[in-house]
Structure 1
Amino acid sequence: MIPRIFMVIFNCSQPLLIKAVIRYIESPSRQSSCSERYLILAAVSVYLGSTFSSSQYLYRTARLQLSVKSSLTSLVYHKTLGTAADAADTGKATTVMSTDVDAIAEAPSMFHDLVGRVLEVTFGLLILGDQVKWLWPVPLIIILFCSRVSKFVAKNIRSRQRNWNEATERRIGALGSILGSMKSVKALGITEALLSYIADLRNDELARAGEKRFMDCQYNSSANALGLFSPAITVALFAIVSHFKNVPLDTAVLFTTVAALSIVTHPANMIMTIYPRIVSVASSFERFQEFLMASPLEDTRKLEAEVRPAGTNNGDAVSLTDVTVNGKNSQPILRNINLKLSHGSVTVCCGPVGSGKSVLGKAILGELPTAKGLVRLSSKKIGFCDQTPWVMAGTMKEVICAFDASVDEAKYKSVVKACCLDHDLSPFHDGHDGLHIGSRGVNLSGGQKQRIALARLLYTGENIVVLDDSFAALDGTTESQVIENLIGPAGLLRKNGAAVLWITNSAQYFQFADHIILLDKGMVSREGTAKEMEPYVDALRKFSVEDDSPAPSAPTRPDKTQTKRDAHNDLYRQTGDISLYAFYLKSTGLVAPIAVVGTTATYAFFNTIPTYWIKFWADSDGSNTAVFAVGYLLIAFMAWAATSVHMWTTLCLLAKRSGTHLHDALAVKILGAPLSYFVATDIGVTLNRFSQDIDLVDRQLPNSFARFATQCCKMTAQIIVMSLVQTTFAYAVPLCAIVVYFVQRVYLRTSRQLRVLDLEAKASLYSCFHETIDGLPTIRAFGWQRAVEQRNINAIDLSMRPVFLMRCLNRWLLIVLELIVNAVAVAIVAFAVLGGSGRGTRVGVALNLVILTNSTLVSLVLGFTDLEVSLGAISRLKSVEEMTPQEDLSGEALIPDKSWPARGELVLKDLATGYSIRHNVLSNVDLIAKAGQKLVVCGRTGSGKSTIFMSLLRLIESTGSINVDGINILVVPRSIVRSRCFIAVPQDSVVFKDASLRFNLDPTGTVRDRNLRDALKSTGIWNVFSDANAEAADILDQKLFSLPPMSVGQQQLFALARAVAQKHRLAVSRCYSDTGDDHSQRARPIVLLDEVTASMDSTTETKVYDVVEKEFVAEGHTVIFVSHRLGGLLGRLREGIDAVAVLKDGRVMVETDFNKLSNVESGDEQSNASS
């Protein structure tokens, strides 16, 4: 605060210095040379004191802001770690961490600035009172009037700011969900529908932004009236009073009054413009407080040591006594559960989909609080492997060893071997230790991710283990081997004495269990040993296909992250790159920038000319006082009108048009990129394009562009006027320009390098947040909260370093620029008092312009700095538009007629495909799926099953030919292939929680409610969302997050219902007829089902096959199952019609003798039974 007080003192000394210099010049008898030296020394002291005190103030303010920002960001992360997994929202956390925290961090500087401005207004009024006597309250009255108007206008700013932030949060949340599931999104062929959905969210956000911006225009219009009309009215009244008193205008008093009014009105104007910022900060603080005050996850579990006296522990690792767990609607989803897990034992929990198996696991993990009963644990650190495994970005070794500072190599190798990872990943030339698995494990197959998560669980060595269907993505052979290595008689978990709860429906492995519980409708219906439970769980049995050869997929690994590429592109971007301005202006159209520049030039002229007008007024004989007074008021009005229109064209015209165009173009490019782009690019980097860069486009770039244009015009006008009144100054302009040019070159080069570091650090911080939200249950289960929090603190610290250095660099630049202006000001004073020539009016104009020029130059540089940062966002968006590869290639232009595919016959000829050009997973594949046939593609994990799935959907590049009804789909646009040729159900079911149930089923909105309801009913999902009396439209229009949550198995059923809805959607779009019983003329898309029953019990699996038979097979569709289990499929295959394709060593073997496959399964089962 002390530097700010000195700033006030030095700033308020400038009018007194101007008065003293003018008095000295106009004095009839010059005083001694000592007075001249004192005046020059006073000028040096005032201007240098102002520069260095402001520098110290801004430096200390920057440190305070960054300290507050770091603390608040860490607090957001800490709160996120304690939030329930189903309540954690990536969009909300990101918005709070970025937009809200940035706003709140400005609060301390706003407080100090407010105090300083109040002091400046007070001292300015005292100086003004000494000059104009009883007229000093005039500016105060104007201040009070304008403040009342501004308060009336701004009363709704807070709510509008909140609405804008919430709309931004919804958009970022939706984009986070979409970008995190791009493989499934593309497989479903809903890219166009999602682009429309994103555009609707964006339009809603811009509508909310428009309401806030319009209020800002009105507020700033009333605030600017103060700075423009206050000097004009005060000086006009002072001149009129002096005229009636027959007192000639005193030049020293007149220019001192103008300088004092500048000291009063500028701080007062800043105080008024601070109010919207205070409102914005208050809104952000309210959201931040609401985020922190949200109910945390309630851990109702107790440690044995807390509930039992010392020495009375019964040896149970986990004990559940009469446990009841409620869902969102307060209805029990688990009731009266009693369970004990002993050290060294394996307990299997089985049951149909939706019976509460995963809920039981979450209750033990503490992810769901108990409504009744007690959960006792020997330790709250639990080894957990989820159905959808969570893996951090990094190398395979880093993920498995997690946060172990000193890696136990022997232990690491043993767990890798136990999970069959050494065998599966051995083909990679750089070794599996260095394999980068990518964001969310995007470089891995589902089975590889599960085995890495299992290896991590083994490495941690926890004594309590929860396995939630953790082997579902593995083929039968790999599954048998891994299970044997983990929970077999000599398994690692048994050796470690771990208490294991294994949630599974794989009955062939129940022999490994010491105890089995069967759940049904949230209650334990049966329990006992494997032998006792055999009659009750036999229906759950699933089988595997024997296959011993690995054929690992080939993940791609980027040589350099997208963040670094963006940053280095920004580093070498030329200053004032015309192409960037052209790119930005193209997004705004011609009208908006022309209007902004025109109003800017008009405002700059009428804002600068009053000082020169006063010179003429002071030099006049006093006979035209009314003319000069009215002229001054008219000039003020023109300046006010110009700046008001300027604000509207900037915020409501230019900002909206650029925001709409750039966001839409970005969305089209990103969603149109191939899958390989998302493999090579971290989700945090891509999401930053939509959050950080679009935020710059919305909130900073329009203001920076307008601010820079305004200050350029004002600086030009001020230089012209100063050159007119001080001709000597005209000779100094080229010299000053040269100095400024070289200074800004050094500044920009350094700022670019710091910007590189800033981008990389911020991307790392955002990725850390997103990764944590994805893995909250796993992090809490293993007790990694402190470790991930320390990692986040390190990321925050790293992200603050370039920001702090950038602030220091800005301070250096401002010091240099202010010293240049100070040198000019001191030179003017020295020439005036030493030269003995020049009139007081000229010196008064010059010194008043120095005050304006100083702030103008500072604002010009800051505007240029902000513009450079914003242009960095434009450069990155331009790079995305120009450099992002697109899926559709030249030559893919064949548009089949609407009846295609009429039969659904698939022929693969010499197909070679893989995840990279250098490594084909499959080579020379020949395969035929006849029209109306059911084809099962099976094989071990990593054999290439999913590769075939993705190649058919054109998600990866292929050579050879893929013919559907005689048309090679390699030359058909990929959007048509996915939306018309195939109906796909990918392995990873994707849902959008912030969208309606209707949108999740039918993103195009063309399917009738009856068909949507029937699709949900046919898969058994309708009862999850609705009771018998509910209206379909009411349920379908509800947001998915407001409906009861679905288990993983239920999400797979929901995905199947979406496939049925897609069949009806294609009927509505007239790709085939949806009426009548004659199917001969109907187009028949091929149905692709990728591991659709992986997390289901046999009863639900049977229901799925029944739906497939009724909805697709019976209507003549070709159905391709991608599965590593045959199980219930074998009994549904038609002899002589259907076929099984077994993948092995990148080749395909087609089998139509199903007895051979049955024998293989029987042998596999017997080998398991005997082991």
Structure 2
Amino acid sequence: PCMGGRVDVATLNMAYCDQTAWHMNESIRDSITAVSGFDEQWYTTVLRACSLEEDLQQLPRGDRTIVGSKGIALSGGQSQRISLARAVYAQKDVIILDDVLSGIDASTENHIFHNLLGQNGLLRRIHSTIILVSSSPKRLPYSDYIIALDAEGKICGQGSFQTLNSAAGYVSSFSLPPPDWTYKADPDAHRGVTSIVQEDEPDNLRSNEALEAEANRRTGDVGIYLYYVGSVGWFAALMFVVFVCGFVFCIAYPTIWLKEWASANFENPYQRLGYYLGIYVMLGFLAIICLIASCWQMIITMVPKSGEAFHLTLLKTVLSAPMSFFSTTGTGVTVNRFSQDLQLIDMELPVAALNTFAVFVPCIAQMIIIGVASVLGAISFPVVLVALYFIQRYYLRTSRQLRFMDLEAKAPLYSQFSECLNGLATIRAFGWQKFLEEKNRRLLDRSQKPFYLLFSAQRWLTLVLDLVVAGIATILIILVVKLRGTIGGGYAGVALLNVVQSSQSIKLLITFWTALETHIGAIARIKVFNETMVGEDKVTENNMPPTNWPGEGGIEFQNVSAEYRPGEPVLRNVSLKINPGEKIGICGRTGSGKSSTVLSIFRMIELSGGTITVDGVDLSTIPRQEIRSRITGVAQDAFLLKGTLRLNADPTGFLSDGAIINALKSVHLWSVVDENGGLDADIDDLHLSHGQRQLLCLARAMLRPSKILILDEATSNVDRKTDEIMQRVIRKASRHTIIAVAHKLDTILDFDKVALLDGGVLKEFDDPYTLLSADSDFSKLYASTMSDQPDEVGIMADDMTVSSEAPVSSSRQAHRLL
């Protein structure tokens, strides 16, 4: 929020591209076009300008590929470029780009910059005002106007590049060359290409969610009840049944006891009053005790056990799911399971079970009493039961499916909530509030349709049951009147009383039973989900490595092919050998398979061919959690846990405070932490910048005793000083085998070897200087990277002169260009 002053803008017609790309769980086309209408020519023009056409050609479904929640199905660079394409496609008067090019390889970044912001760039042609926020000075010479901010967020210089470069200050300190406008933009960048646009086709392949939903709706057998009883324990369930039966007996038997008392009083008036009254009162007290015991058993014992058991089952199933599950399943579906399904199991199912058992036994008792009073009445029961059977059969078949539909219809709504919360800044910047509000209303209406139909079906059931009960009462009264000479007055009175009671009991029984059958659908969903989910762990992964593994850190890929989803390979026959202690850089254009290579070491994606060995041990034979606990990694996006800084630095709680403090000092974070409460400070209260969060993740990685350190573009989105600190810390890990995915190629020139990937294929693997001296793809990539790079921006190993007292500047507070 603005704490002072004011900001005046001439237009609110703006687009915004966040530093962290935001996506909804839609197709690539829908993610780009968003609320704008689809214009194929403009759409394909934007795709080519944002260098997306090659990526889409590699995808089996092209731009109809679902990006997944938070863009999980995309690489970091692809996700950022699609977010950029959305801002460009909107054709707004003002476009704000928050460091969107930092996570993209240099060649692609150069292509995008000149095709969008060059002299003949796409955004210049549509006369949009561009505000580009960046932590790199690389593009300063190309700006019309520059605003530089110091570490405190204050303006330390503003003006044109010529003005600031000729004066002493921040911009002139880089000795930047004049802008090079000789780069020729892609001549086809402003021309549509229809080959990368997929036509709308009916999808004949049903999604996993649809197939699972159909399986859920077919489930309603006794096995579900046994599954539920197994979760709470047979003894607890048996005690519950015993208490309910005791309660029902103590409620039903007093009717018979009164009949016996009345008969005895007729023969011997006012005899043994204490005996009959005492038994009657005792039955009432026992009924109360049994009711309390049954409720206690259900609410205090069974409900917590079942809730914990099913929550643990869901949690284990989700955590053991392969990456393909998360790339094809929306977050709303998963949230729906943990919220709606568990709420039914914890809140509504126990009440329905208690009510069903509490009404079922009285119905049986009342039917026995009516049968004793009238044999003909008892003969009519099978007919009535058959009628009730068909009623509940047809009703249950409908109500169960409606309940499943009610549960499933809420998943898109939950996804909408989650995605809107994550993308509030983007939504407000684009002005999409009304559109998303309308979409939310449509989803809400759709989610309530099954509930309305279920409510209507319940009203129909109530009407039919009332008519059936009225029929039973009419039959009994007719029989009593016609056969009044053969039926005793006491039994007739008891029968009539039980008819009145049974009329309500039968109605309640069917109602509660159908409610139980409907609510049991939540358990059916969990059971089907647990049984059908193929976990990432395999039976063959049972070889426990030695406690000191990996002791050396040697890694070898042998014809490795990998895929996120079946039939969509991201790595193809990759073979390379990494000796212990070597530093290996992995590079290539965005989407070439760099991140997939390191993810395959962690077994985050499935191998469709080949083997990966570490110190001679085949990773496909080791439990995956064991691999991930023995190898250290730092991702491109910093991940921090809710809680204290101590918890984030040492989640296991085994390290001393001194070790944590030393690690924080090595990344220049201790001064910030110490000033804000030390290790016990809440991580949210520290307000760490993006760069500082990444430094904390690096410190956490260095605290782990592992011989292998994997960095997945860990320095791509940080400012220069943060990058220097991270490079210094990485090079101190001389005894580690280091694999670094990088698009800043100057940071890996001092590495032992460099692997160049393209389209999931290993093109080159050799010493970086050997590759630079030859006519190699790496030398071409490096040349395109350094063609317009300022001399002082490169960070070489022999230039690591960062002072241990140097302040850490955040990527959000670093010098920025507009």
Q: TM > 0.5 between the two?
A: yes
Measure how far apart 1:839 and its partner are: 5.3
Between the aligned partners of 1:904 and 1:509, the Cα distance in structure 2 is 40
Matches within 5 A, 1:874-893: 874-893=523-542
Between the aligned partners of 2:408 and 2:731, the Cα distance in structure 1 is 52
Counterpart of 2:245 (choices 579, 597, 601) is 601
Q: Give the match for residue 1009 of structure 1.
A: 657
**Cα distance change on mapping 1:533 and 1:933 into 2, 3 Å:** farther
Post-superposition CA distance 1:20-49 (Å, at most 9, x none): xxxxxxxxxxxxxxxxxxxxxxxxxxxxxx
Q: Give the match for residue 421 of structure 1.
A: 52
Q: Give the match for residue 443 of structure 1.
A: 73
**Structure 1 position 970 matched with structure 2 position 620:** yes
Please tell me whether the aligned partners of residues 564 and 756 of structure 1 are also in contact (alpha carbons under 8 angstroms).
no
Please tell me whether the aligned partners of residues 540 and 1099 of structure 1 are also in contact (alpha carbons under 8 angstroms).
no
Between the aligned partners of 1:725 and 1:562, the Cα distance in structure 2 is 57
Between the aligned partners of 2:500 and 2:441, the Cα distance in structure 1 is 43
Please tell me whether the aligned partners of residues 24 and 31 of structure 2 are also in contact (alpha carbons under 8 angstroms).
yes
Matches within 5 A, 1:547-946: 559-573=205-219, 575=220, 577-619=221-263, 620-621=265-266, 622-624=269-271, 625-833=273-481, 836-837=484-485, 838=487, 841-946=490-595
Please tell me whether the aligned partners of residues 392 and 399 of structure 1 are also in contact (alpha carbons under 8 angstroms).
yes
**Cα distance change on mapping 1:987 and 1:1163 into 2, 3 Å:** closer
Between the aligned partners of 2:163 and 2:731, the Cα distance in structure 1 is 35
Q: Give the match for residue 1105 of structure 1.
A: 727
Please tell me whether the aligned partners of residues 239 and 297 of structure 2 are also in contact (alpha carbons under 8 angstroms).
yes
**Cα distance change on mapping 1:415 and 1:489 into 2, 3 Å:** same
Between the aligned partners of 1:783 and 1:864, the Cα distance in structure 2 is 49
What SS is found at the alignment partner of 2:764?
strand
Counterpart of 2:12 (choices 377, 380, 383) is 380
Between the aligned partners of 1:846 and 1:381, the Cα distance in structure 2 is 78
Measure how far apart 1:955 and its partner are: 0.9
**Cα distance change on mapping 1:491 and 1:998 into 2, 3 Å:** same
Q: Which amino acid aligns with 1:536?
A: Y
**Structure 1 position 460 matched with structure 2 position 90:** yes
Matches within 5 A, 1:14-33: none
Please tell me whether the aligned partners of residues 1142 and 1151 of structure 1 are also in contact (alpha carbons under 8 angstroms).
no
Matches within 5 A, 1:515-554: 515-520=145-150, 521-534=152-165, 536-537=170-171
Measure how far apart 1:947 and its partner are: 1.1
What SS is found at the alignment partner of 2:558?
strand
- Higher mean alpha-carbon deviation, 720-729 vs 495-504, is at 720-729
Between the aligned partners of 1:945 and 1:1100, the Cα distance in structure 2 is 23
Between the aligned partners of 1:1107 and 1:493, the Cα distance in structure 2 is 40
Measure how far apart 1:1153 and its partner are: 4.2
**Cα distance change on mapping 1:509 and 1:476 into 2, 3 Å:** same
Between the aligned partners of 2:121 and 2:507, the Cα distance in structure 1 is 71
Between the aligned partners of 1:567 and 1:697, the Cα distance in structure 2 is 18
Matches within 5 A, 1:975-994: 975-980=625-630, 982-993=631-642
Measure how far apart 1:831 and its partner are: 4.0
Between the aligned partners of 2:784 and 2:334, the Cα distance in structure 1 is 49
Please tell me whether the aligned partners of residues 684 and 766 of structure 1 are also in contact (alpha carbons under 8 angstroms).
yes
**Cα distance change on mapping 1:413 and 1:1053 into 2, 3 Å:** same
**Cα distance change on mapping 1:821 and 1:746 into 2, 3 Å:** same
RMSD of the TM alignment (CA)? 2.5
Between the aligned partners of 2:253 and 2:402, the Cα distance in structure 1 is 40
Please tell me whether the aligned partners of residues 212 and 529 of structure 2 are also in contact (alpha carbons under 8 angstroms).
no
**Cα distance change on mapping 1:710 and 1:944 into 2, 3 Å:** same
Post-superposition CA distance 1:220-248 (Å, at most 9, x none): xxxxxxxxxxxxxxxxxxxxxxxxxxxxx
What SS is found at the alignment partner of 2:572?
strand
What SS is found at the alignment partner of 1:914?
strand
Between the aligned partners of 2:399 and 2:26, the Cα distance in structure 1 is 30
Measure how far apart 1:1129 and its partner are: 3.8
What SS is found at the alignment partner of 2:512?
helix
Q: Give the match for residue 1148 of structure 1.
A: 763
Between the aligned partners of 2:144 and 2:507, the Cα distance in structure 1 is 76
Q: Which amino acid aligns with 2:115?
A: N
Please tell me whether the aligned partners of residues 673 and 884 of structure 1 are also in contact (alpha carbons under 8 angstroms).
yes
Between the aligned partners of 1:996 and 1:370, the Cα distance in structure 2 is 29
Between the aligned partners of 1:532 and 1:1091, the Cα distance in structure 2 is 35
Measure how far apart 1:1085 and its partner are: 2.1
Q: Which amino acid aligns with 1:431?
A: G
Between the aligned partners of 2:248 and 2:176, the Cα distance in structure 1 is 81
**Structure 1 position 1122 matched with structure 2 position 717:** no
Between the aligned partners of 1:532 and 1:900, the Cα distance in structure 2 is 59
What SS is found at the alignment partner of 1:700?
helix
Post-superposition CA distance 1:1105-1138 (Å, at most 9, x none): 112123x22xx001111012223443xx16xxx1
Measure how far apart 1:376 and its partner are: 1.4
Counterpart of 2:32 (choices 390, 400, 424) is 400
Between the aligned partners of 1:758 and 1:1149, the Cα distance in structure 2 is 54
Q: Which amino acid aligns with 1:506?
A: S
TM-score calculated relative to the size of structure 1: 0.61
Post-superposition CA distance 1:1063-1104 (Å, at most 9, x none): 2xx4xxxxxxxxxxxxxxxxx521000111111111110001
Please tell me whether the aligned partners of residues 635 and 714 of structure 2 are also in contact (alpha carbons under 8 angstroms).
yes
Measure how far apart 1:470 and its partner are: 0.9
What SS is found at the alignment partner of 2:295?
helix
Counterpart of 2:647 (choices 986, 999, 1017) is 999
**Cα distance change on mapping 1:937 and 1:677 into 2, 3 Å:** same
Measure how far apart 1:804 and its partner are: 0.7
Measure how far apart 1:407 and its partner are: 2.0
Q: Which amino acid aligns with 2:254?
A: P
Measure how far apart 1:1026 and its partner are: 3.7
Measure how far apart 1:813 and its partner are: 1.0
Q: Give the match for residue 495 of structure 1.
A: 125
Q: Which runs of 5+ in 2 are unaligned?
A: 178-185, 187-195, 197-202, 791-818
Please tell me whether the aligned partners of residues 400 and 521 of structure 2 are also in contact (alpha carbons under 8 angstroms).
no
Counterpart of 2:718 (choices 1096, 1099, 1102) is 1096
Q: Give the match for residue 351 of structure 1.
A: none
Q: Give the match for residue 410 of structure 1.
A: 41
Q: Which runs of 5+ in 1 are unaligned?
A: 1-368, 543-547, 1067-1083
Measure how far apart 1:540 and its partner are: 11
Post-superposition CA distance 1:505-533 (Å, at most 9, x none): 23222232112222222211222323444
Please tell me whether the aligned partners of residues 480 and 1168 of structure 1 are also in contact (alpha carbons under 8 angstroms).
no
Between the aligned partners of 1:989 and 1:562, the Cα distance in structure 2 is 31
**Cα distance change on mapping 1:894 and 1:831 into 2, 3 Å:** closer
**Structure 1 position 961 matched with structure 2 position 611:** yes
Q: Give the match for residue 1056 of structure 1.
A: 698
What SS is found at the alignment partner of 1:1095?
coil
Post-superposition CA distance 1:877-926 (Å, at most 9, x none): 21232221122213222222122222212222222223234233222222
Q: Give the match for residue 802 of structure 2.
A: none
**Structure 1 position 951 matched with structure 2 position 600:** yes
Please tell me whether the aligned partners of residues 602 and 624 of structure 2 are also in contact (alpha carbons under 8 angstroms).
yes
Matches within 5 A, 1:28-47: none
What SS is found at the alignment partner of 2:138?
helix
What SS is found at the alignment partner of 2:444?
helix
Between the aligned partners of 2:652 and 2:788, the Cα distance in structure 1 is 50
Of Structure 1 and Structure 2, which has the larger fraction of its residues in helix? Answer: 1
Between the aligned partners of 1:488 and 1:912, the Cα distance in structure 2 is 39
